Structures are given as structure tokens and as C-alpha cells.
A = this chain, B = another copy of it.
């Protein structure tokens, strides 16, 4: 059951058998149903989640009650509200499941302890957080400066095969367009293939 997450660690660090056992002892595991809340805006984000199977989304809700999807997090992605987690203060974002989802997670205090016992994790999360920062920056900038069709192509490259798994309204919300406009773009691209 630990294959995917330790392959993920192995992308950036080489862990000894002892270190792997130490991490396994600390990792928590759960399965959530579709549409379950893992973090609610206004609450403190206590866990750093790894998606072993299924898919999460991170979104915010504006004052009109409209949801804006920031990220989708299928298998092999780490999910967190970084500001809330690192400062242990109320979250801006909400995290919920788009499918039945299998998760590993590390609690804030447990991860702080693990940084002491397995210092290599500093490097792993340094790189993870750096990549997360880049991704966040790209999302913000592409929403500011890219036409919807380019954003749609970027989405398809970023998340191969995810389009079939999640509702059209969620993809439209990720792209910052209406479902009707998304449907028009899709038809256009299907004709173009």
C-alpha cells in the first residue's frame, strides 16, 4: 500500500530502511467518500495530504457563493493550504474530494518531529513547496494573462486523462469560464482533431 508515496519521496531523496520505517510509523491513512470536506475555509489546516487514489480539489468561495477551483489533486499529488498549514492559522481555501479518495497524511506536529528524526525530509518538502509555489504562481499568472483556450490546453497537459473523471462544471470553474463556453471549446477541439 505504500508503493506510490515512497516512490514519490524517492523522486527527490534517498531514504534508508530505518528512515522509511520511521515515516511509515508516523503516516496516517484514511479513505473519504465523494464530496467529503477535508478542510473548510476558516478552519486551521492541520494535515499535509498525499493522494494515493482518487482526486481532491482546492477551491475558494466568493462573496456571491460562487466556487473557484484552484487545483485538482489526483493520485500522486500533495494537498495543503500552505499559509494555513505553515502558520497554523485559519485557511482561505477549502479542500474536498471529487471521488472516493484514499489518503496518507502527516499532521503538523508530527511533520515537525519528523524533520528532526529524518532531516532529509527538509529537502523533500523544500522541493515540494518550491514546486507548489511555482504552480500557484503559474495559475495566478495564467488567469491574468492567458486566453481561455490556452488555459484549457495547459489544463489538459497538466492533468492527462482527468477530464473524463470530473464534472464539466468543475473544469469550467478551474478555467474561470462558464460551462457553456467550455462545451463550445471542447466541440471546437474535437472537430480540429
Binding site for B on A (CB under 8 A): 60, 62-63, 82-83, 86-87, 92, 115, 119, 122-123, 125-126, 129-134, 136-138, 140-141, 145
Contact between chains at A136 and B137 (CB < 8 Å) = yes
Contact of A87 among B83, B126, B134 (CB under 8 A): B134
Contact between chains at A92 and B132 (CB < 8 Å) = no
Give A58 Cβ to nearest chain B Cβ, in Å: 11
- Please give, as numbers and ranges, the residues of chain B lying within 8 Å of A125 by CB-CB distance: 126
Contact between chains at B130 and A86 (CB < 8 Å) = yes
Contact between chains at A140 and B138 (CB < 8 Å) = no
Contact of A134 among B63, B83, B115 (CB under 8 A): B83
Given contacts A83-B138, A87-B134, A136-B137, contact A119 B123 (CB under 8 A): yes
Residue of B nearest to A115 (CB): B123
Residue of B nearest to A13 (CB): B122
Contact of A129 among B63, B92, B115, B129 (CB under 8 A): B129
Between-chain CB contacts (< 8 Å), 15 pairs: A63-B145, A82-B133, A82-B134, A83-B133, A83-B137, A86-B131, A86-B134, A87-B134, A119-B119, A119-B122, A126-B126, A126-B129, A132-B133, A136-B137, A140-B140
Give A137 Cβ to nearest chain B Cβ, in Å: 5
Measured in the bound complex, the distance between the Cα atoms of B130 and A122 in whole Å is: 12
Residue of B nearest to A131 (CB): B86
Give A90 Cβ to nearest chain B Cβ, in Å: 12
Q: Could you say which of A87, A133, A141, A145 has the most chain B C-beta atoms within 10 Å of its C-beta? A: A133
- Please give, as numbers and ranges, the residues of chain B lying within 8 Å of A119 by CB-CB distance: 119, 122-123
- Please give, as numbers and ranges, the residues of chain B lying within 8 Å of A141 by CB-CB distance: 60, 92
Given contacts A126-B122, A126-B125, A129-B129, contact A136 B134 (CB under 8 A): no
A115-B123, A126-B129 are known contacts; what are 9 more A-B pairs with Cβ within 8 Å? A82-B137, A83-B133, A86-B133, A92-B137, A119-B122, A119-B123, A122-B122, A129-B130, A140-B140
